[in-house]
Structure formats: C-alpha cells, structure tokens
C-alpha cells in the first residue's frame, strides 16, 4: 500500500490525507552499540518515511564488545541468552563466550540486516541544542579523522551512548608520574605483552575478576590491589563448557532444541530475582552458600577476613568468578588490601606505607556511571541535562528526562541492568521508543516529554522499593553514586517486571504539544483501509469473536503462554526452588 505522506510538519497539510498520515521523521541516534543497532533494525523493519543517522565515535560498531578486549573479557550470562530474543546464534563456541565473539555477533547482525548504512563511524556527538524554529535538536558532531565539526538536525534524538562506556582512571594522586606501562581494561592496548612481567592490577569489580585468573599463568607475578571485599559467585545458571561440534550441529539442525535450551536458561535467570530482596529465604541461603564456597576456595584466614563482605550478596554486581578466588592463592599472586595513597614512577604506595613497584599497571577501575551526559544537551527552556543530572539522575522509567522533549535514552537511570541479561531490557526500551515515534509520526505532535510530577512519583516509589533490596546496603557500587546514596542504576523490580511495565505507553505521564490543531491527524475523513485496494474493507465482519482480549490480564496470559508450564518457581545458586514466597510477596513497600 502506498503511504500518504505528510509533506511538512504543518498541521494544515494533514487535511489533504487520510487519518494517521505519516509525517517524515528524522532520527539521530548517538552510539552504535547493541542499543543503537537494535533501534536501526526495528526502525528499518517497521517504519517508512523516516531518516536515521547513527553517529558512532569508534571505528567499528558493537560498543562494549569492541572496546573491552582485556584478557578474560567474556559474557557473564550464558551466551545463548546474550542475543536478541529473535536472533539466536547457533554456533557460540562456549557457554560464556569471549568478548571478541560477542563483537562478531553484533557486527554480523548489522551486516545481515544492512544496518551499517545508517552508521557514521568516527563521529563523536559533542552537543545537542533545541532548535526553537523547527523543533527537535541541532546536533554537533566531531569528525574524529579530520577534527572538523559537522551540524545536523533531528526531530527525535536517541541517546544510546552506553552506561558503561565512559571508562575512567582511578582518582589516585600522581597517576601520571608512573613510568611503566599503564593500561585500562576498557581501553586495552593489544600490543602490550604481559608474559614474564610483574603486573599490578587495581580493582576487584567484574573486570578485575576476569583479568586476574587469565593473566596469572602467563605473568611472572601479579600484585593485586583491593580495597573493598566482594562476593564472588559461582557461574549463574550453567557451568562453563565448550560446545562440541555435535552440540552445535544439533542446535543448528534439530528444530526446537536451541529454543528450549534458551528458554530454560532464561527461565532460570528470571527466577533469580529473590536474591536481591533482603531477608528472603533465597537471599539468606544464597549468601550462606557463597560464603562457604568462598571460604573453601580462599582457604586463608587473612583473605577470608578481607574479601568476604558484611553486606548482602548482590549489593555489587555478581560476577561469576571462574578461577578468581583460586588465583588469589597462587604463589605468583600478591594481594595488597587497602587504599593506594599515591602512584610513583615505579608503582603504587599503599596506606601501609609500602611501595609496590610493578612493570605494568592495569586499572580495572570501571566507568563514570553518573548518567550525566558527556556533552551538553540543551532543552527548549535553556537547561542543560549535564547540570540537571549533576547531583542525581532522575529519569522516566529509564528512558526519558523531564523538560527534554523528543529525547530518549537507552539504559538510562533505573533500568534492570543488574539482574540478568540486559538485552531484553534494551528490546523493550526500543519497542517503547518506537511506539512514541509512531505517535509522533501519525499524530500532530511537535513535542513529547515525560511530566515532572510523573518522574517525582516514580523516583519516590523507586526509593521506597530499594530500601528492601540488597542494593541499599552500604557497599561501594556503581549502582549508586555513594554507598549510602540512592540507587540510580537499577530498576525497582525484576526484568520481567520491567518488560510488563514497558508494554504500553502511559500517555497520562507525557506532556504533549501539537503542531496546531491536535485533531489534524483525522485528516480528510478517509481511513487508511480505504486507501489500500488490497485490504478487506469489511475486515470486522466475522463468524466468531476472535478479538484480542480487552483486559490487560487476559492479553498478558496470551503473551506469556499462561497454562503451558507445569509450575514455575524461582531458583537460586544452590539450585533449590524455594523462591515462591519471595516471588509472590516481594518487598513490602
């Protein structure tokens, strides 16, 4: 069917066409990681009369998985569940695939669906300013090859620049005085050879936990600097395992085998949420189990005292520490517990007064996760999001900010990024954004932004919910700005909870401005159906009522295939199914 296209944003033009005529929409997306690529895929698949440019600062797509190439970097959830829900990969090499293989998955995804054509690489967005004449944003981009600045304009600006993309050096005095080789895990130099060298490793977050056991057998010595205990979990769901040719052949050729495998893993991951709720049986039993595991593997009173936390399991991100605890006890590994007070030409000076010289210093010190944009984003009222989110980033359901119209964010503040695979959250955010873009295109909308009061209510609810979660414990974690601070990175609920919350756009929470008459979209009185000679003009005449259910509950039962499972119960690391109580009640708020 030929689309009736609204030639300009002028409301009057809509009168010439049928109901819901599509205006042209220009979208700019910042970043071509998983989020930006998915947006491009869905926009291309479902929309017409749009133009999209994805500006990407790196020379390649795939974001996290192009940048993080440190030794040991891998998926921390089974790889078959780190794919788009609709795009399985039949031949993952192992249960926990390497960063390189994940990079390949996203690059292949982009190639298969011809998404590279939307992406302009080595172009860094350095500012976005509301355009008072045309609406939308004037976007300034720096061409990283020529250093020239380029200007562009969009109706809708989508920030997919990644919550774990702004890597940072540790704030340790005199870091620049170090004369050895200084590396950051997220900015790895593949030319550095660690073999036979004395390596310093700062940090025991997820990156540090993966680096240590990978480099320990190759280097002469590792001195690892740790300043906070952390829970190190066994693998979540499945043991590491290299898939045999036979297994991969079966995944590729036997109908339903891979789908059932993926669904089983996902069910199990979705059943783990009880771990994050304080005082639940799941949390208590998991903690007791992990403590005994850590004691067994560390087998050293000093390390046990300094590495096993007093705060609850899950307060910091749980990383499956394959071989980490064992590595800490190896002869060529020295554990230095405490604060590094300064860096010298030779290495680190710690609060015990000792200097620890090293040939190579690896900073596994994480990212700036403040959610404050790295460049100015200026709203119609002149406010800059960098200032508005300086103290605390407060989003609307993780996807938008008050007073910043036509601006949407992937994995913004308070998304389910701490429990289970993140890709399912990215998928439901993309769907949510595209529902808004669809409305923008087919109604007479010029601006849409979440209401301030809706965000205030969401934040109040979130803060209350968080009190009963382990994330609220006094650990130092990137999920919050300070140990006692509000939890800014996580969603107040499970991933399944987020998916259900995002299924429909609550327009009651959105401030909408129109181009003139809000009903101009009614057009010339003709329906889209009449415009389509191949459509059935009597589509609603039937023999029986086969409508979609009208209530949310009945609709959901169809979507979630209610009645098809014998009985779902949550699981924990012990493999015990006791989460029924935790799942049904949750924290009382």
Residues of this chain that interact with ligand NAP (CB under 6 A) are 75-76, 164, 170-172, 185, 202-208, 210, 225, 227-228, 317, 319, 340, 364-366, 476, 478
Task: Write down the residue that tokens 């809000």 correspond to.
Answer: 518
Q: What residues numbered 113-152 form the site for ligand FAD, per CB under 6 A?
A: 124-125
Q: Specify the residue, 138 or 429, whose C-beta has the smaller distance to ligand NAP.
A: 429
Q: Minimum CB separation from ligand FAD for residue 125, in Å? A: 4
Contact in structure between 228 and 476 (CB atoms under 8 Å): yes
- Contact of 172 with 343, CB cutoff 8 Å: yes
Are the C-beta atoms of residues 213 and 329 closer than 8 Å to each other?
Answer: no
Task: Give the nearer residue to ligand NAP in terms of CB position, either 36 or 200.
Answer: 200
How, if at all, do strands 198-202 and 319-320 pair? unpaired
Q: Please say whether the beta carbons of 418 and 408 come within 8 A.
A: no
Residue 160's binding partner out of ligand NAP, ligand FAD, none, with CB under 5 to 8 Å set by partner kind: ligand FAD
Q: Which of 568, 540, 318 has its CA nearest to residue 418? A: 318
Q: Which is nearer to ligand FAD, 82 or 521 (CB)?
A: 82
Answer for the pair 260, 565: CB distance below 8 angstroms, yes or no.
no
123-161: b (≥16 Cβ within 10 Å) or e: bbbbbbbbeeeebbbbbbbbeeeeeeeeebebbbbbbbb
Nearest Cα neighbor of 66 from 107, 31, 30, 103 is: 103
56 belongs to the binding site for ligand FAD (CB under 6 A): yes
* Residue 58 contacts ligand FAD per CB under 6 A: yes
Q: Report if residue 161 touches ligand FAD, rule: CB under 6 A.
A: yes
Stretch that binds ligand FAD, among 71-79, 252-260, 275-283, 301-309 (CB under 6 A): 71-79
- In terms of CB distance, is 70 or 375 closer to ligand NAP? 70
Count of residues that interact with ligand FAD, criterion CB under 6 A = 33
Q: How far is Cα 468 from Cα 279, in angstroms, rounded to an integer?
A: 8
Nearer to ligand NAP, 141 or 333 (CB): 333
Q: Tell me the C-alpha distance between 446 and 442, whole Å.
A: 11
Binding mask of the shown chain, residues 422 to 461, with x at each position contacting ligand FAD by CB under 6 A: x---------------------------------------
Annotate 205-260 with DSSP letters as a single string. Answer: SHHHHHHHHHHTTTSSEEEEEE-S---EEPPSSS---BPPHHHHHHHHHSTTHHHH
Q: What is the closest distance, in whole angstroms, from the C-beta atom of residue 165 to ligand FAD in the complex? A: 4
- CB closer to ligand FAD out of 374 and 439: 374
Q: How far is the CB of 185 from ligand NAP (least distance, A)?
A: 6
**By the rule CB under 6 A, 269 interacts with ligand FAD:** no
Scanning residues 388 to 427, which ones bind ligand FAD (CB under 6 A)?
Answer: 410-411, 421-422
Between 78 and 274, whose beta carbon lies closer to ligand FAD? 78
82 binds, among ligand NAP, ligand FAD, none (CB under 5 to 8 A by kind): ligand FAD
Is 73 a residue that touches ligand FAD (CB under 6 A)? yes
9 phi and psi angles, rounded to 5 deg: -80, -5
In whole angstroms, the minimum distance from the beta carbon of 162 to ligand FAD comes to: 2
Asked if 310 and 339 count as a contact pair (C-beta separation under 8 A), the reply is no
CB 39, CB 103: distance < 8 Å: no
Q: Residue 512: left (phi > 0), alpha (psi -120 to 50), or beta? A: beta
The stretch near ligand FAD (CB under 6 A) out of 50-58, 109-117, 240-248, 346-354 is 50-58
Choose from ligand FAD, ligand NAP, none: what does 319 bind? Cβ within 5-8 Å by kind: ligand NAP
Minimum CB separation of residue 376 from ligand FAD in Å reads: 11
CA distances from 398 to 137, 458, 500 (A): 21, 10, 14
Task: Assess 207 for contact with ligand FAD (CB under 6 A).
Answer: yes
68 counts as binding ligand FAD under rule CB under 6 A: yes
CA–CA gap between residue 28 and residue 408 (Å, rounded): 11
Whether the CB-CB separation of 239 and 322 falls below 8 Å is answered with no
The nearer residue to ligand NAP, 120 or 476, going by C-beta atoms, is 476
Which residue is associated with the tokens 């936990």? 209
Residue 20 to residues 42, 443, 526: CA-CA distances in angstroms? 20, 6, 10
Q: Is 266 in the site for ligand FAD (CB under 6 A)?
A: no
Contacted entry of ligand NAP, ligand FAD, none for residue 11, CB cut-off 5 to 8 Å set by kind: none
Residue 54 vs 466, nearer CB to ligand FAD = 54
Q: Give the one residue of 19, 40, 41, 63 binding ligand FAD; rule: CB under 6 A.
A: 63
Give the tokens for residue 242: 């290299």
Q: Going by C-beta distance under 8 Å and a sequence separation of 6 or more, which residues neighbour residue 578?
A: 281, 282, 285, 569, 570, 572
Query: Toward ligand FAD, which CB reaches closer, 68 or 204?
Result: 68
Which run of H or E residues covers position 276? none
- Using the rule CB under 6 A, give the single segment among 7-15, 30-38, 532-540, 551-559 that binds ligand FAD: 30-38
Closest Cα to residue 106, out of 93, 96, 115, 95?
115
Contacts with ligand FAD by CB under 6 A lie at: 30-36, 55-58, 63-64, 68, 73, 75-77, 82, 124-125, 160-162, 164-165, 207, 374-375, 410-411, 421-422
């Amino acid at each position: 069917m030929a689309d009736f296209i609204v030639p300009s944003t002028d409301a009057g033009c809509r009168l010439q066409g049928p109901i819901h005529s599509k205006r042209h929409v220009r979208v700019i997306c910042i970043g071509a990681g998983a989020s930006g690529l998915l947006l491009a895929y869905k926009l291309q698949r479902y929309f017409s009369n749009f133009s999209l440019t994805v500006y990407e600062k790196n020379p390649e797509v795939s974001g996290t998985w192009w940048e993080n190439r440190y030794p040991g970097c891998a998926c921390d959830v089974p790889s078959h569940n780190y794919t788009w829900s609709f795009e399985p990969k039949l031949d993952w090499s192992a249960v926990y695939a390497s960063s390189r293989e994940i990079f390949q998955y996203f690059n292949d995804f982009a190639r298969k669906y011809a998404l590279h054509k939307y992406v302009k690489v080595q172009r860094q967005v350095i500012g976005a300013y509301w355009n008072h004449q045309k609406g939308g944003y004037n976007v300034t981009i720096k061409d990283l090859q020529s250093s020239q600045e380029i200007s562009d304009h969009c109706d809708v600006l989508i920030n997919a620049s990644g919550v774990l993309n702004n890597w940072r050096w540790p704030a340790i005095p005199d870091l620049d005085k170090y004369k050895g080789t200084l590396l950051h895990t997220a900015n790895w130099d593949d030319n550095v050879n660690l073999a036979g060298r004395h390596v310093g490793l700062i940090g025991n977050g997820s990156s540090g936990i993966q680096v240590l056991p990978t480099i320990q057998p190759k280097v002469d010595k590792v001195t690892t600097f740790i300043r906070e205990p952390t829970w190190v979990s066994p693998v979540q769901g499945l043991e590491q395992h290299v898939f045999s040719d036979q297994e991969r052949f079966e995944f590729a050729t036997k109908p339903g085998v891979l789908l059932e495998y993926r669904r089983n893993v996902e069910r199990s991951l979705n059943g783990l949420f009880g771990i994050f709720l304080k005082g639940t049986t799941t949390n208590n039993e998991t903690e007791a189990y992990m403590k005994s595991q850590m004691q067994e593997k560390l087998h050293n009173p000093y390390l046990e005292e300094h590495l096993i936390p007093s705060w609850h399991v899950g307060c910091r991100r749980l990383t499956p520490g394959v071989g980490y605890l064992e590595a800490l006890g190896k002869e060529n590994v020295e554990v230095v517990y405490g604060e590094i007070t300064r860096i010298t030409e030779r290495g680190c000076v710690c609060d015990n007064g000792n200097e620890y010289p090293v040939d190579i210093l690896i900073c596994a010190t994480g990212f700036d996760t403040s959610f404050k944009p790295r460049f100015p984003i200026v709203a119609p009222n002149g406010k800059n999001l960098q200032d508005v989110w300086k103290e605390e980033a407060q989003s609307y359901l993780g996807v938008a900010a008050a007073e910043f119209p036509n601006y949407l964010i992937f994995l913004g503040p308070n998304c389910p990024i701490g429990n289970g695979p993140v890709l399912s959250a990215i998928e439901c955010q993309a769907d949510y954004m595209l529902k808004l873009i669809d409305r923008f295109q087919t109604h007479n909308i010029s601006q849409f932004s979440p209401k301030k009061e809706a965000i205030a209510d969401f934040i109040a609810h979130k803060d209350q919910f968080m009190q009963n979660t382990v994330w609220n414990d006094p650990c130092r974690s990137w999920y919050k700005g300070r140990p006692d601070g509000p939890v800014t990175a996580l969603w107040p609920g499970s991933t399944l909870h987020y998916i259900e919350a995002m299924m429909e756009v609550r327009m009651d929470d959105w401030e909408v401005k129109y181009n003139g008459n809000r009903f101009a979209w009614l057009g010339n009185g003709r329906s889209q159906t009449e415009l389509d000679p191949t459509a059935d003009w009597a589509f609603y005449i039937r023999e029986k009522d086969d409508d979609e259910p009208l209530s949310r509950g009945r609709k959901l039962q169809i979507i979630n295939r209610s009645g098809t499972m014998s009985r779902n119960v949550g699981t924990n690391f012990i493999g015990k199914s006791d989460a029924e109580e935790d799942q049904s009640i949750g924290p009382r708020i």
